[in-house]
Amino acid sequence: MLDRRTAPIPTEVDRASQQPESVVDVYFSADVETDGPIPGPFSILSFAIVYAGSFDGRQFIRPGKYERTFYKELKPISDNFQEEALRVNGLDRVRLCLEGTLPEDAMTEAYRWVKSNSKNAKPVLVAYPLSFDWAWLYWYFIKFSADGSPFGYSRCFDIKTAHAVKAAIPISEAGRLRLDPLLLPKRQHTHHALDDAIAQAEIFANIFEWEGVGGYTRRSPGSSKRSTPGAPREREGG
């Protein structure tokens, strides 16, 4: 039996070797345009996914430009639709019934695009609010992608919740209309999936870097530097 009194004391190297490998999250802003409220009875007509940055637990890096994008217009999967939804997104459902990409092809291609842009990091889906876009995309990935969901069953980030926490307001008051002007994107909300996914990625980065109304923010040990709304700590080239 080992005498605890004479057992070797672990060194810093020993402790470091026992730590799990660092994990990096890579974020993808997603937006869907649909012809109804829920997947299955209704259909995704278009969706976009945009690379929105990375975080290693210490440093968030936003893209210098939002050029890594994926966009598809899909063939509807049922005959059901709501006229109001079509008026909002402006998509020609009749045309998509004839020319839209098959969901099996679109979702498999989207999975592989996300994985190829994640490298060895963990892809995380972000949206504002998350609940609508996640419900649709997760269902479509599981139903139609040959590879399943690139985000697993729970790797997701709700920008609305982050806004509520950092702005110290109830979630019911954390809609986009309550965003501080310094957190707003450069792009307008157009209901075109690609435009809106890019605008959403900008909001995500601005809120992630914002120290919030409480004045607290994640920073390197020993650093006294604080960020202001919309001011990035570091940018990457792509």
pLDDT per position as a tens digit, 134-190: 999 999 999 999 999 999 999 999 999 999 999 999 999 999 888 999 999 988 888
Q: Is residue 9 part of a domain?
A: no
Q: Is residue 6 part of a domain?
A: no
Q: Is residue 10 part of a domain?
A: no
pLDDT digits (tens, 9 = 90+) for 76-94: 999 999 999 999 999 999 9
> Does residue 195 surpass a pLDDT of 50?
yes
Reported as a pLDDT band with limits 50, 70 and 90, residue 21 is low
Instruction: Specify the 3-state DSSP secondary structure of 121.
Output: coil
The tally of domains found in the chain comes to: 1
What does the mean pLDDT of the chain come to? 86
Cα torsion 223, 225, 226, 228: sign: negative
Reported as a pLDDT band with limits 50, 70 and 90, residue 46 is very high
The CATH number that applies at residue 82 is 3.30.420.10
Q: Is residue 160 part of a domain?
A: yes
Reported as a pLDDT band with limits 50, 70 and 90, residue 42 is very high
Q: What is the pLDDT of residue 110?
A: 98
Q: What is the pLDDT of residue 204?
A: 98
Half-sphere exposure of 183 (CA within 13 A, CB side): 28
Q: Is residue 2 part of a domain?
A: no
- % the chain with pLDDT above 70: 81
Q: What is the pLDDT of residue 189?
A: 82
Q: What is the pLDDT of residue 18?
A: 44
Q: Is residue 5 part of a domain?
A: no
Q: Is residue 7 part of a domain?
A: no
Residue 54: closest CA among 21, 20, 29: 29
Which structural domain range is residue 102 located in? 22-236
Q: Is residue 95 part of a domain?
A: yes
pLDDT digits (tens, 9 = 90+) for 90-106: 999 999 999 999 999 99
Q: What is the pLDDT of residue 213?
A: 87
| Distance in angstroms (rounded) separating the CA atoms of residues 14 and 7 | 14
> Does residue 222 surpass a pLDDT of 60?
no
Residue 63: burial class (beta carbons within 10 Å; 0-12, 13-18, 19+): buried
> Does residue 219 surpass a pLDDT of 80?
no
Question: What is the C-alpha end-to-end distance of the chain, expressed in Å?
Answer: 58
Threshold 0.75, pTM exceeds? yes
